[in-house]
Amino acid sequence: MEKTSYLEEIFLKNPKKKKNILEFIERFTVIEDVFVEKEIFNHSFKCRYPGCGICCRDGTSINMDEVNRVAKSIEEIKTYLDESKIKRLDKLNNVFYRKNKREGSWRLRTWNSSCIFLMEDKLCAIHKYCMDNDVDWIKFHFNLCVTYPLRINKEQNFIHIEEELKNREYVLPCFNKYGEEDYDESNMLIYSMKDVILDRLGKNFWMALEKNREKN
């Protein structure tokens, strides 16, 4: 009797989910026990600040550890903001977040159609604070603000492109599929995000990721 493959066993146990499972296998590869979306090898990314701020128009999801970390420096961070946002934060007693619909999560507040921390020149007040005070912004800032346009979930071992970008809900001038505009290797998505990937997933993962990129 022919032995049933592992994949066939999964289909037998989850016949209604066969299509979803096949789509998942097509979309992701496994590198160092991390599920990596294959599309990250097909895009370039180069932030074009100042004067953009498109990716900061909505408040991102955050957790309470991130809230507590940033809250300790909120008075210093506020000094980079325009008067209207300072007044808004003062009125909120520096509570720069609100409860999210999903249980156990929070979201950054917005003001005047942008993140509460976006400065008048469309740069980030938290990032600016880190640069001016020799603070490691990759470790200090809100996770999604650092990893965007990727979503890196260290706990669940996932790395993928933000859904709104793939669906073209957001059209960012800094994010492009190869062939849409000129690019060089330094603009490749994984290389532009190298420091973040190294910090979040480590050197061994980075080396395996780069090796996998060379194969594709």
Last residue of a domain, one of 85, 109, 137: 137
Q: Of 4-13, 32-41, 80-89, 185-194, which one has max mean pLDDT?
A: 80-89
- Which tens digit of pLDDT belongs to each residue from 74-108? 999 999 999 999 999 999 999 999 988 766 789 99
pLDDT range class, residue 2, cuts 50, 70, 90? very low
User: Does 185 fall in a domain?
Assistant: yes
> In percent, how much of the chain has pLDDT > 90?
49
**CA neighbours closer than 13 Å in the CB half-sphere of residue 169:** 11
65 and 132 in a single domain? The answer is: yes
Mean pLDDT within 128-154: 94
- Which tens digit of pLDDT belongs to each residue from 18-76? 677 677 778 888 899 899 999 999 888 888 766 688 888 888 889 999 999 999 999 99
pLDDT of residue 18: 65
Q: How many helices (H) and strands (E) does the chain have?
A: 12, 9
pLDDT of residue 173: 78
Last residue of a domain, one of 83, 115, 137: 137
DSSP type of residue 156: T
Would you tell me how many other CB atoms lie within 10 Å of the CB of residue 200?
A: 20
Indicate if the pLDDT at residue 193 is higher than 90: yes
Question: Could you give the angle at which helices 194-201 and 203-215 cross, rounded to 10 degrees?
Answer: 130
Q: Angle at CA 35, nearest 5°, toward 212 and 201?
A: 75
Domain count, the chain: 2
Cis peptide leading into residue 15 (ω within 30°): no
Indicate if the pLDDT at residue 4 is higher than 60: no
Nearest to 61 by CA among 152, 162, 144: 144
pLDDT of residue 6: 44
172 and 193 in a single domain? The answer is: yes
160 and 124 in a single domain? The answer is: no
82 and 187 in a single domain? The answer is: no
119 and 158 in a single domain? The answer is: no
Indicate if the pLDDT at residue 184 is higher than 70: no
> 3-class SS at 184?
coil
CA pair distance 197, 151, nearest whole angstrom: 10
Strands 34-37 and 158-161: parallel
User: Does 5 fall in a domain?
Assistant: no
